[in-house]
Structure 1
Amino acid sequence: MIRTGSSGFSASTIRRSKTASTLPAPITPGPRDGPWSMAPGWRHPRRNPSGSPARGRGGRHPPLCGQMGAGPKGGPLMDRIMTGVIESAVTGGDMPAAVRLAPGILEREGRPAGYLTLVTALLRAGRGTEAASYGRVLRELFPADAGIAFLLGQALHQDGRLAEAIAQWTAALDLAPAMTDACRNVAMGLIDAGRETEAADYLDRLLAQCPDDATAWIQLGNIAFRQDRADAAGDYYRRALAAAPDRIEAAINLAETERWLGDADRAEGHLKDALRRDPGSFAAHFNLAGLLLEQGRWRDGFAHFEWRTNLKTIPPLLAGLPDWRPDTPAGARVALWNDQGLGDAILFLRYAGQVKARGHETVAILQKPLVRLFSTHPALDRVVAIDEPLEVRPDVQVPFASLPHRLIDADPETSWPGPLLAVPPARRDPGARTRPVGLVWAANAANRQGLRRNVPLETLAPLAGLPGLAWHSLQLGPAAADLGRSSWRGRMTDHSAGLGDLYDTAALVASLDLVITVDTVVAHVAGALGKPVWILLPRPADWKWRREGETSCWYPSARLFRQPRPGDWEGVVSLLAAALRQGPGQGR
């Protein structure tokens, strides 16, 4: 299934700082002290005998701070004028002037407005390191001030020091238990730090004070979803929608939850409701595409699939070229490129022949591991890597994944031209009495939902002792090291060192009787070669494998082994063992 964001859900749309984290910027402005909500009742710091404020431990101040001598007398109006001047100085790049002005208000009346303005202006300018430095000065001078602790947390977060930021926000919350902005930031920081159980406690605390905080309900839903508690996640998203009906990310996430629970109709209803509210929502279109494609509603599904954000990743050498359309005049030089994963490029390769049949010259521009493999396809006149120069600039361009929509021939069951690839097999011992079987147990996925596709190698151990089989590992990436520390050691040949690209993988696959693999590029290589391939799928699986069934409309030689229930790989292994006892070539 197509998902948005690292968690499989659309991200919250609350205002954020300039870093890539998910922490929201505070949302309740104080009266004059910048955009953050500050605790009321500023306290005058202890003064030293000279009349200037005490400097805290060791009297340390950041560079450029200078002496905090008495400034000109003045009241709130003068404060407002000076804070405006400080903001202008930072914005204009005149830091020395800003630093000279900042101590004035603090020295006159013991209030940190000048320094707060300085720190705030630095944050707005994206200068988190300096903001944190001056924020620490204030924190030492005003240790009991929750607003300053909160502001220092903002600066530390912008500077990329998440753990320290969480500590300051927690301190602010200890000083002012009703400071909801601090509670929210602690929760979001803990989520970023992977401490989701603790984060949920702070979100509950926030909701006790702000029961209509839709963002908190959404985040609780996201945590529950990532913990495979789909029912609870759905309840949280409904609470978010009740609090804020216009928060379409809650509707999108609720739709994904309904899909996981098997209710496609409700999921579709939520996504279409989101699109009525925001017709331009990439996430809603993208998730609706996956939902429709999973049901075999190809034409509508691929129309929504055109909203995928990866289309913005067009190779630089193709930037500015017009789109290829079916009515493009014959003889055009068409560039085909891949905006999806390596396996998806193989999946959509079947449509390249229809482009070539329209009288075009074709050039494929691909990730390097695909280049040699795709060079075997007769419909591609030339195949180059993304970073290679082109001798002749193409006339038009189209991503492989857009071809089903552009060709209006989206049904994969009618578009199978036979094996897509032809690679000579690697050498094989003709005298071997065992049947060679390839195995891949882990996908190369960086996010948690992608990792759901992985089967622990030890879970597959019951297969190792089956008679008459010779096991060959096609596993690449970090998971290849699992072999040496598992019970499979000495019972399966490791080929990882000899697999330089996908052509090498295809040659090895071509020499095997069967490939057993999780949902990764090797499944597509074997299917495109027409080799028997058994694909191990989580529940629910990605859209291309549909919701149920043992056969694949994309690859006739594939057999699908699905989890009986979410997370149940042991059940899959039992099915595999029974099928292998019948013989690798049985049951497709």
Structure 2
Amino acid sequence: MLAQVLKRAARVWADRGKRGREISPAAWEEIDARLASGDAENAEAVWVSLLRQNPESPVALHGLGRLQGMRGELATAGRNLAKAVRLKPDFTEAWIDLGNVQLTSDKPEEAESAYRRALAVDETSVLAWCNLGLCQQKRSQLTEASESFRRALDLNPRFGLALRHWVGIQTKLDWPDGAAELLERWADMVPDHAEAQAALGFMWLKHRFRPDLAITHFNRAVALGMNHAELHGNRGIALQDLGRIDEALASYDKALHLEPENRAVRFHRSLAKLLVHDFEQGWPDYELRLLNEECPRRALPFPRWDGTELSGKTILVYAEQGLGDEIMFASCLPDIIVRSGHCVIECHKKLAPMFRRSFPTATVHDGGQHDEPSGLSGLPPIDCCIPVGSLPLHFRRRLEDFPQHTGYLKADEARMSYWRRSLAGLGPGLKIGITWRGGTRQTRQSYRSMPLDTLVPLLEVSGAHFISLQYDECRDEIAKLGSVHGLTLHHFPAAIADYDETAALLGALDLVIGVCTAVVHLGGALGRPVWVMAPVGPEWRYGVTGGTMPWYPTCRVFRQAAPFAWEELILRVRNELIAYLDEN
């Protein structure tokens, strides 16, 4: 990897003035010709011959050391390059190549010193700034590296290596203030630069969650001749977020034609296939999620279950992803419980009371996804294990495999009775739960959420009482709804703070209406009537067409007609609610 970086960072010998006058034009022509033809061995022979004639030639020492460094002879290269800069302290290129050798030798401090010496000689050296950034990045100095790449790009916005690393750092730093504007400025300076357009598309897609704008820049990059797997993969994600699944699949296929084993592209293609209910093709590559660097590595001392006979054996099904995912994939737990001798279920502690109630023949362990294997001590002896998100690979291969259940999770009956009495005190009319915000900023919250006041046309419908199921801080929003619009949205924070209590509240409600969030999954898993308002390009769980979800027979899906077009969707839901109230 570092050898490749070193090769990319190497400069072509184009500026004869910087080479020094100690090498004859004929020698330069011979070296140029051999390097251009890839004949590094004979080019080295020329440098060696020149050094025999003049052992103190910094230019020949640099040329020889640079070739040796590219070949991996780091110690020898370092000695020659160090001698070159001793003889010629203002030799910028030699300092840069010495830094490259030190960086490749895993000596980042010495490398940084060499790059800074190069910049002390020539602070306009784009390569020195870029390589300094690479060095700082290796030392996990992300803020400093970002600044070094910025200096390189201010000097040359077309410097693709610096741009790619700068964008990667902004993603890790969650795009600090001013970063997006910097990228836009550089792109404006070079409107015909494909990499800048691809970077802009990435920013709009991953930072600002605007796939409609991202696709414009990705298309420009393609039109400008860029043909990278990463570009086609990101373009596929944008198309998928826009609900254009056929085009997304075509873009993923282009990416995989270039890089057949690109795991990120294969994973996102699997999500597109799951969106259109192609479960047979989707589930196998969905397993690639487990290789994501953000996925907890579970060093469990049990073999992975591969679908073989489980009679008389104990299997551990362990937790992964978020609460909504654990709830949804739990629909497969009855299948594995029946098939195994015994099932041990690891789940989030918020879900443990409900899972114990719902799966009484299983052993439920309230563990965390980052727990050490020692946390499983005291459980029955385990023969094999599987992450809960991998159960559908065995039990949901076709649409027909999804059961028409009436609820596989069970709320506490006593607490449901309590909430029925409490809600009855609100007066006559249906009791309807409401959510309007889902996920986090990193999980596209802005794309699948709306301001509370967008729901005003729905909340104005008479004959119903609306109850907030919003899990985060929302009291100010609810107060504003009352003061500005004169509408009441009841809120019971204690019921939201405890998931088992939330389940009891849901069990007492007549209907839940919400955006794509965990409460929707909980309501569907309890067998309660749920209406979900989905963006035009929802997560794969919700499908991309139709008004139903295979996971939850009691769930209806209302879909946007265009990105961020919530108002029109709310009016459709309002009309359906009026009809629903008339029927009930």
Q: What TM-score bracket applies, with the shorter chain setting the length?
A: 0.7 to 0.9
Instruction: Give the equivalent residue in structure 1 for 2:248.
Output: 267
One-letter code of the match for 2:575? A
Residues 414-453 of structure 1: pairs in structure 2 closer than 5 A: 414-424=402-412, 425-426=415-416, 427-428=418-419, 429=422, 430-434=424-428, 435-447=430-442, 449-453=444-448
The match for 1:476 among 457, 468, 471 is 471
Residue 404, structure 1, aligned to residue 392, structure 2? yes
Contact 2:61/2:83 (<8 A) preserved: no
RMSD: 4.4
Change (3 A) 1:281 1:138: closer
Residue 139, structure 1, aligned to residue 119, structure 2? yes
Q: 1:532 & 1:522 partners in 2: Cα distance?
A: 12
Q: 2:409 & 2:303 partners in 1: Cα distance?
A: 29
Superposed CA deviations along residues 45-64 of structure 1, whole A, max 9, x for unmatched, are xxxxxxxxxxxxxxxxxxxx
Residues 233-382 of structure 1: pairs in structure 2 closer than 5 A: 233=217, 235-236=219-220, 238-239=222-223, 242-244=225-227, 247-260=228-241, 262-275=243-256, 278-309=259-290, 313=295, 316=298, 318-325=300-307, 327-378=308-359, 381-382=362-363
Instruction: Give the equivalent residue in structure 2 for 1:576.
Output: 573
The match for 1:389 among 376, 388, 395 is 376
One-letter code of the match for 1:406? H
Q: Give the TM-score normalised by the residue count of structure 2.
A: 0.74
Contact 1:440/1:518 (<8 A) preserved: yes
Change (3 A) 1:220 1:149: closer
Residue 199, structure 1, aligned to residue 186, structure 2? no
Bigger drift between 218-227 and 421-430 goes to 218-227
Q: 1:295 & 1:78 partners in 2: Cα distance?
A: 62
The match for 1:487 among 462, 473, 481 is 481
Instruction: Give the equivalent residue in structure 2 for 1:520.
Output: 517
Q: 2:213 & 2:273 partners in 1: Cα distance?
A: 24
Contact 2:58/2:87 (<8 A) preserved: no
Q: 1:564 & 1:394 partners in 2: Cα distance?
A: 49
Q: Secondary structure at the match of 1:302?
A: helix
Alpha-carbon deviation of 1:364?
0.8
Q: Secondary structure at the match of 2:399?
A: coil
Q: 2:58 & 2:2 partners in 1: Cα distance?
A: 34
The match for 2:564 among 555, 564, 567 is 567
Change (3 A) 1:350 1:230: same
Q: 1:504 & 1:25 partners in 2: Cα distance?
A: 59
Contact 2:402/2:551 (<8 A) preserved: no
Bigger drift between 257-266 and 504-513 goes to 257-266
Q: Secondary structure at the match of 2:410?
A: coil
Change (3 A) 1:133 1:475: farther
Superposed CA deviations along residues 533-556 of structure 1, whole A, max 9, x for unmatched, are 221111122222222233333212
Q: Give the TM-score normalised by the residue count of structure 1.
A: 0.73
Alpha-carbon deviation of 1:122?
5.1
Superposed CA deviations along residues 165-187 of structure 1, whole A, max 9, x for unmatched, are 55544544566688665566667
Change (3 A) 1:545 1:143: closer
Superposed CA deviations along residues 78-129 of structure 1, whole A, max 9, x for unmatched, are 5578899999xxx99xxxxx99x96982464532566545543554466666
Q: 1:165 & 1:231 partners in 2: Cα distance?
A: 29
Contact 1:106/1:114 (<8 A) preserved: no
Alpha-carbon deviation of 1:292?
2.5
Q: 2:359 & 2:318 partners in 1: Cα distance?
A: 16
Q: Secondary structure at the match of 2:85?
A: helix
Superposed CA deviations along residues 380-403 of structure 1, whole A, max 9, x for unmatched, are 511111333232331111223222
Superposed CA deviations along residues 191-216 of structure 1, whole A, max 9, x for unmatched, are 754633542442465574xx6x6x44
Residues 34-73 of structure 1: pairs in structure 2 closer than 5 A: none
Q: Which runs of 5+ in 1 are unaligned?
A: 1-14, 19-23, 33-37, 45-71, 93-97
Alpha-carbon deviation of 1:277?
5.1
One-letter code of the match for 1:120? N
Change (3 A) 1:334 1:174: closer
Contact 2:267/2:285 (<8 A) preserved: yes
Q: Secondary structure at the match of 2:470?
A: coil
Superposed CA deviations along residues 6-52 of structure 1, whole A, max 9, x for unmatched, are xxxxxxxxx7999xxxxx999341369xxxxx9886699xxxxxxxx
One-letter code of the match for 1:447? Q
The size of the alignment, in residue pairs, is 522
One-letter code of the match for 1:540? G
Q: 2:550 & 2:323 partners in 1: Cα distance?
A: 19
Superposed CA deviations along residues 147-181 of structure 1, whole A, max 9, x for unmatched, are 44444444445555556555544544566688665
Q: Secondary structure at the match of 2:544?
A: coil
Superposed CA deviations along residues 223-273 of structure 1, whole A, max 9, x for unmatched, are 455432365245236337x543xx333333343444455544443344345
Change (3 A) 1:520 1:569: same
Bigger drift between 305-314 and 363-372 goes to 305-314
User: When you count helix as a share of all residues, which structure comes out higher?
Assistant: 2
Superposed CA deviations along residues 404-429 of structure 1, whole A, max 9, x for unmatched, are 32236542674233311111244232
Alpha-carbon deviation of 1:522?
0.6
Identity of aligned residues (%): 23
Bigger drift between 518-527 and 158-167 goes to 158-167
Q: Secondary structure at the match of 1:486?
A: helix
Instruction: Give the equivalent residue in structure 1 for 2:31.
Output: none
Q: Which runs of 5+ in 2 are unaligned?
A: 21-54
Q: 2:284 & 2:138 partners in 1: Cα distance?
A: 39
